[in-house]
């Protein structure tokens, strides 16, 4: 945006720049916090997976692995990997 042109030229350019800088910092901080939250959610999901996997008896291990691999393929397909959608 061109702040030196009308109608922005009627405002103090330094305060506009400061406002934009503060907004950018606020947006960056918000993004950082959201990403940290997602990382914690992923970590918890993996911990939950491991706890559940420890409970699977030997007779069901192959079935559980097949189900997990199937889910990975479903998720990969949703993300555009692994063939046609």
Tens of pLDDT along 31-70? 999 999 999 999 999 999 999 999 999 999 999 999 999 9
Task: Provide the 10 A C-beta neighbour count for residue 24.
Answer: 10
* CA–centroid distance for 68 within its chain: 22
Contact present, 4 and 13 (Cβ < 8 Å): yes
Residue extents of the structural domains in the chain: 8-78
Mark 34-58 as b/e (b = at least 16 C-beta within 10 Å). eeeeeeeeeeeeeeeeeeeeeeeee
Q: Is the pLDDT of residue 7 over 50?
A: yes
pLDDT tens digits for range 13-30: 677 677 788 888 899 999
Quote the percentage of the chain above a pLDDT of 90. Answer: 64
């Amino acid at each position: 945006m061109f702040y030196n042109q009308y109608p922005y030229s009627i405002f103090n350019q330094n305060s506009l720049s400061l406002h934009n800088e503060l907004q950018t910092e606020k947006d960056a901080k918000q993004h950082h916090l959201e990403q940290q939250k997602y990382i914690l959610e992923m970590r918890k999901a993996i911990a939950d997976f491991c706890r559940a996997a420890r409970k699977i008896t030997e007779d069901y291990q192959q079935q559980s692995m097949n189900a997990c691999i199937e889910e990975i393929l479903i998720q990969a397909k949703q993300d555009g990997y692994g063939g046609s959608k």
